[in-house]
Structure 1
């Protein structure tokens, strides 16, 4: 029997492309997903993607092909499933049909089959089995193929009329009562987000709050809690801010070439200094872009050719956020000074961080600069990103349990998978930051990014440190 090694268990994190594509569509509220494959693939993808509030029990379907379908094809079962969707009280805005590995191999022509259905909405088809890539590859391909279906040209022509500072465009959907076209001086899209990432919704709410503080509106959070019609409004933002490059770097490049939409990929805002740096990069990119285009919204933000004046304007815009950060630092000092006097600063012999690459990059900076000290840091990324040669990667098949063998007390920031594989006789403090997550209930809003996220992470780390001293 195989040993209890990380490599033997990595299938729980290396989910297939079918699950990744489904995760993309799961964030579009009027999208339906059809898995054309065996029930094992369907239920596995459902387990990976389903989250509270997504209603995937009704929106994620399976064709349940017969045993003979692996030889004769799945046309009958697939058309029957699509016919069921035509009977819904409200028509779908999008249907994603994806083949599992087996039916990708037999060569079912999905595009031809779905063209025979009576559905009037866009139908996106994919051969998305695990043989074609992992979760992140499936997400990227599905999102890019989806955007290629959207007619951005007509929206751009019809979205010029402004009334009371709002862009009026009947083709742009308005989900959950939010007016997505409210126009402030600057607007951005947040792209490369997934409703299936751990803690993503709370983190995105905090990022949107931070941007509002510095006078930036979020036009659209791509593939997160909006309907299909909202995609037509994507082109009306001034800048695309990539949250998780492992999900949408290629999409950002495509939008740059197709719609001339600039983008940036700042390191995620974990910690107070990381938050300020993140906001600074976005404001700088927006103001430089506006200066280059000669389209500043008001005279107070007019940029000169002087770099000093440029930076001064940026600092003025960031001042409300800077003041909040200084206030948070003072608050944290007052609340921790007594425990610091008794216990010193948080310290662990070894710290292991295991998560998607964008999360690891942001956490690394906050851990090193703000959150704690440790004898050894080890970083493991779940995806195949090559963002840092010092990171371990699941796809390389390393055995990372050795990273937690240093010293008597360690800290693990990762998923339930890593937690279960820790050596039992070692004292390992643990906090979930990535999927798969353990059985837990989180009722309060609890971001990890931004100012509020820094507060939560400091509280978590301090309490884990104190607990480690008590158990030591």
Structure 2
């Protein structure tokens, strides 16, 4: 196996398994995360979470174990940290996560927590980041939460869905969720619980069984949890990755309706699709009329499997004149997406004169692609460095028009920069 293929397993690269678990728990209302480990390890994850949502910084604690604790244990430090959290935060839940070093020691965390006599529930999770990535940790945290969740005795409501596996660490999470809710409501489908949405209360999460169907929009985050709910709570689920594009979204909505046994009125959706398509077509035609405009070339995408399953077909069908699509899947395991060319890590992007390349991924992807004067970049993965706008989205029908508007604006900018060629 090449050294490149092993890079993802190196420790402390950021967004590790512990950070993934922390991200899910921090999204819960009045939940506090306690990292059982050294300060330096906790600081990395805390800084990443604060970059996602500033308020998460105040929900993040560390037991601050020292070198001697790696030999003799850190029960006293852990108990002190639990009492500090209880006195300062009065939380609804404490998620106790172990760092890599403390995972090796094997302290009896549940026994220590019982002896601390904390008034709120304390949920323990071995989340040592040496084993995997953010997505693995998120999955583990979500399933661990469901295992202890006291499900409320509620009646199932027709035409209602849960979304399993959402993340505030993903770009445009808030705007994308608003767009999904809006589109579903237009055809009479209501969203009940979104596991991973910021501010979700424990009481609302307990009403999961009110929904008729669990939707997994990010399989890398929610598929295992949805399967757990099916096996242990008898809840049906469907993997339907987050929709992109006008036609892609219309098709996605039809699938959701079919799974719920509904025959909704799509006339409003179809009118909106036609109106947005007309506006996009006009902008693309005007762009092509201007002979100074550079042509679109190849597309380089670094995505999760779920994103690729939805976004790649949309790029082929709805993006203007796409070239070859180069794809790298950002999660463990072998994944083949038909019609794409593998893109190896740190492979430079060679953009022919007179063309532009489209790069989709994260800030690391942008940097490795280089060739800044001929690349249009959009963020689809964390980490990201940007000022978030809650209303902005790339998913759904509204999102596709925003995406195309951003791309076209960048084309004009780069055309101006390259006007002497």
Does the pair score TM above 0.5? yes
Matched, 1:261 2:235: yes
Q: Spell out, residue by residue over 1:370-417, the C-alpha distance to the aligned partner (whole angstroms, 9 max, x if none).
A: 0232332111122125453567899xxx43414x22534322111111
Matched, 1:79 2:106: no
Structure 1 counterpart SS, 2:190:
strand
Q: Which residue of 1 aligns with 2:304?
A: 356
> Alpha carbons of 1:386 and 1:54: their partners in 2 closer, same or farther (altered >3 Å)?
farther
Query: Which runs of 5 or more structure 1 residues have no equivalent in the other structure?
Result: 161-166, 168-182, 288-300, 302-313
Q: Which residue of 2 aligns with 1:417?
A: 364
Looking at structure 1, the residues matched to 259 and 8 of structure 2 have their Cα atoms a distance apart, in angstroms, of: 42
Looking at structure 2, the residues matched to 360 and 47 of structure 1 have their Cα atoms a distance apart, in angstroms, of: 29
Q: Is the 8 A contact 1:203 1:447 kept in 2?
A: yes
Looking at structure 2, the residues matched to 393 and 117 of structure 1 have their Cα atoms a distance apart, in angstroms, of: 52
Match of 1:463 among 405, 409, 414: 409
How far apart are residue 221 of structure 1 and its match? 0.6
Q: Which residue of 2 aligns with 1:26?
A: 26
Structure 2 counterpart SS, 1:361:
helix
Q: What is the 5 A alignment of 1:67-466?
A: 67-88=67-88, 91-152=90-151, 155-156=152-153, 159-160=154-155, 185-225=158-198, 226-287=200-261, 314=263, 316-343=264-291, 347-388=295-336, 398-402=344-348, 404-405=349-350, 407-408=352-353, 409-424=356-371, 427-438=374-385, 440-443=386-389, 445-466=391-412
TM-score (structure 2 length as normaliser): 0.89
Q: Spell out, residue by residue over 1:113-154, the C-alpha distance to the aligned partner (whole angstroms, 9 max, x if none).
A: 1111222322111111123322111111111111010122xx
Q: Is the 8 A contact 1:350 1:407 kept in 2?
A: no
CA RMSD of aligned residues (A): 2.7
Q: How many residues of Structure 1 are paired with residues of Structure 2 in the alignment?
A: 411
Looking at structure 1, the residues matched to 142 and 197 of structure 2 have their Cα atoms a distance apart, in angstroms, of: 12
> Alpha carbons of 1:41 and 1:239: their partners in 2 closer, same or farther (altered >3 Å)?
same
Looking at structure 1, the residues matched to 287 and 299 of structure 2 have their Cα atoms a distance apart, in angstroms, of: 21
> Alpha carbons of 1:15 and 1:53: their partners in 2 closer, same or farther (altered >3 Å)?
closer
How far apart are residue 52 of structure 1 and its match? 5.5
How far apart are residue 84 of structure 1 and its match? 1.0
Structure 2 counterpart SS, 1:147:
helix
Q: Spell out, residue by residue over 1:186-238, the C-alpha distance to the aligned partner (whole angstroms, 9 max, x if none).
A: 11001111111111111011101111111111101112121122221011101
Q: Spell out, residue by residue over 1:238-286, the C-alpha distance to the aligned partner (whole angstroms, 9 max, x if none).
A: 1111010001111111111122211111132111011111111100000
Q: Spell out, residue by residue over 1:75-108, the C-alpha distance to the aligned partner (whole angstroms, 9 max, x if none).
A: 111100101122136x311111111111111211
Structure 2 counterpart SS, 1:130:
coil
Q: Which residue of 2 aligns with 1:304?
A: none
> Alpha carbons of 1:343 and 1:112: their partners in 2 closer, same or farther (altered >3 Å)?
farther
TM-score (structure 1 length as normaliser): 0.80
Looking at structure 1, the residues matched to 319 and 367 of structure 2 have their Cα atoms a distance apart, in angstroms, of: 25
Looking at structure 2, the residues matched to 425 and 345 of structure 1 have their Cα atoms a distance apart, in angstroms, of: 17
Q: Is the 8 A contact 1:30 1:228 kept in 2?
A: no
Looking at structure 2, the residues matched to 393 and 83 of structure 1 have their Cα atoms a distance apart, in angstroms, of: 51
> Alpha carbons of 1:279 and 1:52: their partners in 2 closer, same or farther (altered >3 Å)?
same
> Alpha carbons of 1:370 and 1:392: their partners in 2 closer, same or farther (altered >3 Å)?
closer
Q: Spell out, residue by residue over 1:316-345, the C-alpha distance to the aligned partner (whole angstroms, 9 max, x if none).
A: 432221221112112333444433333599
Q: Is the 8 A contact 1:190 1:218 kept in 2?
A: yes
Q: Is the 8 A contact 2:125 2:141 kept in 1?
A: yes
